[in-house]
Homo-oligomer: A and B are copies of this chain.
Amino acid sequence: MRMDPQELLSLCKRRGFLWPAYDIYGSVAGLYDYGPLGAALKNNIEDHWRRLYVQGEGFQEISCPIVAPEPVFKASGHVDAFSDMYVECTKCGETFRADHLAAGLHANPASLGEDELGKMLRESGVLCPECGGGLTAPKRFNLMFKTSIGAGRGKTAYLRPETAQGMFVNFSQVYRYGREKLPVGAVQIGRAFRNEISPRQGLIRLRELNMMEAELFVHPEDKSWPKFRDVRAEVVPLVPNKGPPSSVALEEAVKAGVIRNEVLAYFMWLTYKFALDIGLDPKRLRFRQHESTEMAHYASDCWDLEAEIGYGWTELVGVADRGCFDVKAHLDHSGADLTSFERYDEPREVEMEVVKPNFGALGPLFKDKSKLIAEALSKLPAEAAKDQDKVTVDVEGEALVVPSSCYEVSKRKEKVSGRKLVPHVIEPSYGVDRLLFSLLDHVYSKKDEYIVLRLKGLVAPIKVGVFPLMARDGLGEIATSIFDSLVKAGIAAYYDDSGSIGRRYARMDEIGTPCCVTVDYDTKSDGTVTVRDRDSAEQVRVKKEEVAEVVKALISGASFESLRSPQD
């Protein structure tokens, strides 16, 4: 049975996971605050991801600005193509996604032009869903937040709609830091912004979101991956765009061409492992391959990790082979040399076409500029000069037209030590907010009328509750000192001495705290405390000096059973 998202959002608000942002000013759709529990859960999810990608796989973590000047997104294609169509109610002023209003009228309304879509809405008599008013014709709206840098005329700028571009524009820096070898990868964890027309669905469609993105730069002709050997027998649930869903070993999927290459398959596996590590339910996860019509034109393969939650199957992560598109786009737009250099084992002799200046013809025509023009000609790529009757060269800022009599294109054998390559990009792109919300959906459960979040110790915002049975008789002091020792050991603990023990357990269960420690009168006599397991509600007694160690073991995944000494 699917969970009601409103029920989950209500728990989140009540207990401090999420608050609608700017609530005292009427709030803004698509903007949320993470309260103390949400922020801790988010930090824990991000830390684990960093552990896998930065420590585990050696990606370089970098941190780029959110505000970027227009040329960056001109190159990336976002200025021209990152848009949706909207209509506005002429009566109440509300705006709507035009394609959403046409759902049911056409198989893929987002693929239509403004005119076509407008005609369809008009002819179908679609009105404002809020007030029944008339609607304007559809208009395109760029989904980037626009701003301006600097006073006076200023420079047009945008808030990044993804963190990826910061890594693409820095390819050369990343490559150099990685000592000029491929593959090399960078990651970013941070905010991204999408000025959605009418966001709904809580954390699923946000105007300000948190992303974790990895960009792996690989040799365009070598998408093998040595560590793939270690995971080739692993099985992940696949929904390919051709043929039936399958659960086969990754190696088979690659061999059959269902997954395009090893490196893509490896990062699909890492994504799946990450999802299970943080506690998503494997029975409600799948990798769906993009339809060829749905795939960005440059991507050669793309798989979404989807989770089944209250809103239906929802994309959490995209793992794509983006080919050379991104780096090439910035290379073309900026003119910077965003290539890697492949050094051959042995220098190779290659036949090249080169432009050779003809000094006899240059001299009379260009006089004392001949030498500089000859230099400029020698640097021209042969394709630019071949079969042309003239070329234009730049000499000291001046554009000079040089007739073909002044040069010839000839073949020459040369020893070259390697070649320049534009790297391909494999991109695993994670939506933190969607992961967090889907995780809460998957761990939400009820025991009688009480809510229990079955969060794993790895990600739980509070790892342990500490309670004195009574605040009096010195029990409070003992509990406080246990609490202090846990904090000192770096364990997120919560002290609670109010209400019945049952109520205190219920409060901790509701926010996903894996275990609780209670100090009672026996503690004073034998120095032991009760440790209670959230999921089984079982209890064991342990020495109070061992509490930090026991909690650490439980967080790291030790079973509660393993705590029992043989005589229990």
Spell out A's residues near B (CB within 8 Å). 16, 19, 21-25, 28, 31-36, 38-40, 42-43, 51, 55-56, 60-69, 71-72, 86, 88, 93, 95, 139, 141, 145-153, 155, 159, 166, 169-170, 172-173, 177, 179, 186, 191, 193, 195, 197-198, 207-208, 330, 333-334, 336, 338, 487, 490, 492, 498
Cα A28 to Cα B156 with chains together (Å): 12
Our pick among B65, B150, B169, B197 for the contact of A24 (Cβ within 8 Å) is B169
18 new A-B pairs (CB below 8 Å) besides A39-B62, A148-B195?
A: A16-B173, A16-B177, A22-B169, A24-B169, A25-B169, A33-B62, A35-B173, A35-B177, A36-B61, A36-B62, A39-B61, A42-B63, A43-B61, A67-B145, A88-B152, A95-B151, A146-B147, A191-B191
CB–CB B148/A65 < 8 A: no
| Shortest Cβ gap from A464 to chain B (Å) | 13
CB–CB B67/A193 < 8 A: yes
| Shortest Cβ gap from A40 to chain B (Å) | 7
Which of chain B's residues have a CB closer than 8 A to the CB of A43? 61
What are 22 A-to-B residue pairs whose CB atoms are below 8 Å? Answer: A16-B173, A21-B68, A22-B69, A22-B72, A23-B169, A23-B173, A25-B334, A28-B149, A33-B173, A35-B173, A35-B177, A36-B61, A36-B62, A38-B62, A38-B63, A39-B61, A39-B62, A66-B191, A67-B193, A67-B208, A145-B149, A179-B498
CB–CB B151/A141 < 8 A: yes
CB–CB A152/B33 < 8 A: no
Cα A61 to Cα B334 with chains together (Å): 41
Which of chain B's residues have a CB closer than 8 A to the CB of A32? 65
CB–CB A35/B62 < 8 A: yes
| Shortest Cβ gap from A336 to chain B (Å) | 4
| Shortest Cβ gap from A102 to chain B (Å) | 16
CB–CB A150/B36 < 8 A: no
Cα A336 to Cα B19 with chains together (Å): 15
Cα A347 to Cα B172 with chains together (Å): 70
Cα A179 to Cα B36 with chains together (Å): 13
| Shortest Cβ gap from A248 to chain B (Å) | 30
| Shortest Cβ gap from A163 to chain B (Å) | 11
CB–CB A173/B19 < 8 A: yes
CB–CB A71/B330 < 8 A: no
CB–CB A67/B31 < 8 A: yes
Which of chain B's residues have a CB closer than 8 A to the CB of A35? 60, 62, 173, 177
| Shortest Cβ gap from A228 to chain B (Å) | 18
Closest to A191 in B: B66
Which of chain B's residues have a CB closer than 8 A to the CB of A56? 487
A55 with B490: in contact, given A34-B62, A39-B61, A145-B67 (CB under 8 Å)?
A: yes
Cα A35 to Cα B34 with chains together (Å): 27
Cα A167 to Cα B285 with chains together (Å): 36
Which of chain B's residues have a CB closer than 8 A to the CB of A151? 86, 88, 95, 139, 141, 195, 197
CB–CB A65/B330 < 8 A: no
| Shortest Cβ gap from A268 to chain B (Å) | 23
Cα A61 to Cα B333 with chains together (Å): 41
| Shortest Cβ gap from A406 to chain B (Å) | 33
Closest to A30 in B: B149
Cα A163 to Cα B498 with chains together (Å): 33
CB–CB A152/B65 < 8 A: no
Cα A149 to Cα B492 with chains together (Å): 37
Closest to A167 in B: B33
CB–CB B487/A69 < 8 A: no
Which of chain B's residues have a CB closer than 8 A to the CB of A198? 150
Cα A7 to Cα B21 with chains together (Å): 43
Which of chain B's residues have a CB closer than 8 A to the CB of A69? 22, 25, 28
Closest to A143 in B: B151
Closest to A21 in B: B65
CB–CB B31/A150 < 8 A: no
CB–CB A195/B149 < 8 A: yes
| Shortest Cβ gap from A67 to chain B (Å) | 6
Cα A334 to Cα B24 with chains together (Å): 6
